Structure 1
Amino acid sequence: MHAMQYELTLPADYDTDVIRARVARIGHLLDDWKGLGFKAYLMRERGVNGSPVNQYAPFYLWNTMEGMNTFLWGGAFQGLSNDFGRPSVRQWTGLSYEEGGAAGSPGRWAVRRRQPVAEGLELAEVMVDAVAETERLAREDGAVCAAAAVDTARWELVHFSLWTHESPKAGGEVFEVLHVSAPGRGRLPRRRQW
């Protein structure tokens, strides 16, 4: 499993309905994408749920590197780059994935929490704790799914979770989910990835 996300931070006075219309128009194009576990089309609006910015920030979990590379180099990502400029694409190695009790429900809200892995910590313990946090999040009421991944270049953990309700029981940045494409969600490997 591989996690990926890019962020388009938009002007404070940006009409976020433009993003909603874009996702409504093209979101379905990844509904059958080979190698994709899921893509959550995410948006934050300035002043909503504590967001300081307007931002479009899709989050991906990939089953295969080929699927991800086809998305990035095969033309789909180029359309976004043509419209908004080419964003930096963050990537994390998957640590764990769990389905929540609301797995059959559509995700309406997402939470992303990034945290540094401090120097001097025992890496095995940090990663075991990250897996335990994924399991804890998945057990919470309204959880659709939860995942953890690590960026070893920056030594940063990311916890990502999808929720059915607006006040998710996870700390972090809250995003509205505009659409979810999940052709390979059922094939995402469960539990810890090592």
Structure 2
Amino acid sequence: MDAMRYDITLPADYDMNIIRNRVRDNGHLMDGFNGLLFKAFLISERSQGELSNSYSPLYVWKDSEGMNKFIFNGFFDNILQSFGWQNIEIGITTVVKLEENFKKSKYVIEKTDDILPGDTLQNTNLNATLSDTESGKLVIYNPDKWKKVTFSFSEARPKKENNIRCFEVLHISTQ
């Protein structure tokens, strides 16, 4: 499975209700998209203690065919037309754990760790376990940046920690 995300940083005075309304009106259009395991419509807000306002959708694709269709068959054009050219981050999944209440998730914590250089990668920890309060866990790695990113989904607002981003989930589409 492949993970995909683009992180659109918005101005500090941006009315985040514009994004909320966009997702409310159009988020369901991704429901049932061929090849999609899930898409989480995520936002961060300065008013909630984050560094910036952002719209940061996160996708997990069952196969590259669905991802390619989304990017090159006009669906991603909506993003390009609304927000301009965006870089898409692609990662390889190592953990995808979704509980029955996954679609009820309201928050996502994103934790990024470096994969440090060494003589071997055999001891690299790309695993993660779900805590009792989490509704989902996703771990991806990106070998062109040597980063590991862990996304932890929950229904309750998590405690804010340094160097960890917190997103609000506006909608989750699944196939």
Please tell me the TM-score bracket, short chain as reference. over 0.9
Counterpart amino acid of residue 110 in structure 2: R
Counterpart amino acid of residue 153 in structure 1: D
Q: More deviation in 68-77 or 115-124?
A: 115-124
1:69–1:168: structure 2 CA closer, same or farther, 3 Å change rule? farther
What secondary structure sits across from 1:125 in the alignment? coil
Q: Which residue of structure 1 aligns with residue 19 of structure 2?
A: 19
**2:160 & 2:33 partners in 1: Cα distance?**
30
**2:169 & 2:115 partners in 1: Cα distance?**
28
RMSD: 1.8
Contact 1:109–1:168 (Cα < 8 Å) also in 2:
no
- 1:111-167 per-residue CA deviation (whole Å, 9 max, x = no partner) reads 1111211111631211xx221xx22xx1x1221110111111111111112111101
Contact 1:40–1:58 (Cα < 8 Å) also in 2:
yes
What secondary structure sits across from 2:123 in the alignment? helix
Q: Which residue of structure 2 aligns with residue 111 of structure 1?
A: 109
**1:124 & 1:31 partners in 2: Cα distance?**
38
Q: CA deviation at 1:104?
A: 5.2
TM-score by length of 2: 0.93
Structure 1: state its 5+ residue gaps: 184-194
Q: Which residue of structure 2 aligns with residue 40 of structure 1?
A: 40
Contact 2:106–2:154 (Cα < 8 Å) also in 1:
yes
Q: Which residue of structure 2 aligns with residue 2 of structure 1?
A: 2
TM-score by length of 1: 0.84
Task: Tell me which stretches of 4 or more aligned residues in structure 1 moved more than 4 Å.
Answer: 168-171
2:171 is the alignment partner of 1:179: yes
**1:178 & 1:22 partners in 2: Cα distance?**
10
Q: Which residue of structure 1 aligns with residue 141 of structure 2?
A: 150
**2:94 & 2:165 partners in 1: Cα distance?**
20
Contact 2:9–2:54 (Cα < 8 Å) also in 1:
yes
Correspondence 1:43-82 to 2 at 5 A? 43-48=43-48, 50-82=49-81
What secondary structure sits across from 1:111 in the alignment? strand
Q: Which residue of structure 1 aligns with residue 122 of structure 2?
A: 124
Counterpart amino acid of residue 12 in structure 1: A
Counterpart amino acid of residue 111 in structure 1: I
Structure 2: state its 5+ residue gaps: none
Q: CA deviation at 1:94?
A: 1.1
Count of residue pairs brought into register by the alignment:
174
**1:92 & 1:121 partners in 2: Cα distance?**
23
**1:44 & 1:149 partners in 2: Cα distance?**
20
Q: Which residue of structure 1 aligns with residue 89 of structure 2?
A: 90
Counterpart amino acid of residue 104 in structure 2: P
What secondary structure sits across from 2:122 in the alignment? helix
Contact 2:103–2:172 (Cα < 8 Å) also in 1:
no
- 1:80-133 per-residue CA deviation (whole Å, 9 max, x = no partner) reads 110110211000011121234x6355110011111211111631211xx221xx
